[in-house]
Amino acid sequence: SISKDALLSVKNKYDLRRADRYTAIVMASAVQACADAGFADCAMADTGIIIASSFGPHRTTFAFLNDILDYPEDQVLPTTFSHSVHNAAASYVASSLQIRGPTISLTGFEDLWFDALELSDVFLNSGCCQRIVLVGVEELALLTQSLPSILPDSFHCRLLEGSVALLLSSTPEGKNYTSITCSRRSSCGEKPDRHSSCATANDFLGGAFQTALKALASSNQPGTTISIG
C-alpha cells in the first residue's frame, strides 16, 4: 500500500492536519503535477479541477456511518462528515494550491477515465478555463479490499490503489509532454466482456496510469499526440 511517510510529508507541507487519507493521496499527485509543470506554490488563475474516482472517499464515508451506528446523532464527528463529501478532496487541492476555477468531482464505474478526459477537453475547448488539474484516484478500504471475495464475478482481481494527476492546458506550456485527444467510438452490438481482462474499476486507474506512461514515453518525441478512445 501507499507509504504513510509519503502522505505525511504532503500533509505537513500544506498543513493538512485534519485531511483524511483519500485527500492526502489526491494532494500528493496534484501537487506533483503542478510542480512538474513549473507551477509550484503559486496561484493558478483560470484553472479547473476535475477529480475522478469510482469509489471516492468511501473509507471516510463508512467511518462516519459507523459513528452514526455507535454514537448518538449529535455526538458524531463533524470533521469526519465533511471529509465524507465526495468533493472535499477537490476543495483541498483548490485551497492548498490557490487554484481558482470550476471544481468538479466525477464518479462512475464505466469508462470513467475517458469521461474525465473528455470533460477536461470540453472545459478547455469551450474556454471555460485555460488549464485543468485532472486527478484519477482510488483508495482501498474494507469494502474495496473485500470486493474480490464478495463479488468475484465482477471483481476477480485485487483492486489498484493510487492516484494520477495530469495538468492539462489548452495551449502548450510547462513540460509540454504531448497533446492528447479524445474520440468516443460509436458502439455497435454488445460490449466486449470486460471481465475477461480485468475488473472495470481497475480499468479506470490502470487507464490513468497508462495515459501518464504514454505521455512520459512521448516526452522525447515532440509533436506526438496521444489518442484516447
Residues that bind other proteins (CB under 8 A): 1-3, 6, 10, 25, 28-39, 120-121, 124-125, 131-132, 160-181, 209, 212-213, 215-216, 226
Which lies closer to other proteins via its Cβ, residue 39 or residue 113?
39
> Do β-strands 47-52 and 131-138 pair in parallel, antiparallel, or remain unpaired?
parallel
Which lies closer to other proteins via its Cβ, residue 81 or residue 209?
209
Which lies closer to other proteins via its Cβ, residue 40 or residue 68?
40
Residue 55, SS3 per DSSP: coil
Minimum CB–partner distance for residue 149 and other proteins (Å)? 21
Minimum CB–partner distance for residue 147 and other proteins (Å)? 18
Which lies closer to other proteins via its Cβ, residue 157 or residue 212?
212
Longest Cα separation, the chain: 60
Distances (CA, A) of 94 to 38, 47, 197: 17, 9, 36
- Rounded CA-CA distance 195/44 in Å is 41
Minimum CB–partner distance for residue 94 and other proteins (Å)? 16
Q: b/e map of 60-98 (b: 16 or more CB within 10 Å)? A: bbebbeeeeeeeeeeebeeebbebbbbebbbbbbbebbe
Which lies closer to other proteins via its Cβ, residue 31 or residue 76?
31
- Rounded CA-CA distance 93/129 in Å is 16
Which lies closer to other proteins via its Cβ, residue 27 or residue 76?
27
Give the dihedral sign, CA 124/186/211/83. positive
Q: b/e map of 194-211 (b: 16 or more CB within 10 Å)? A: eeeeebbbbbbbbbbeeb
Residue 212, SS3 per DSSP: helix
Minimum CB–partner distance for residue 9 and other proteins (Å)? 8
Which lies closer to other proteins via its Cβ, residue 91 or residue 169?
169
> Do β-strands 162-169 and 131-138 pair in parallel, antiparallel, or remain unpaired?
antiparallel
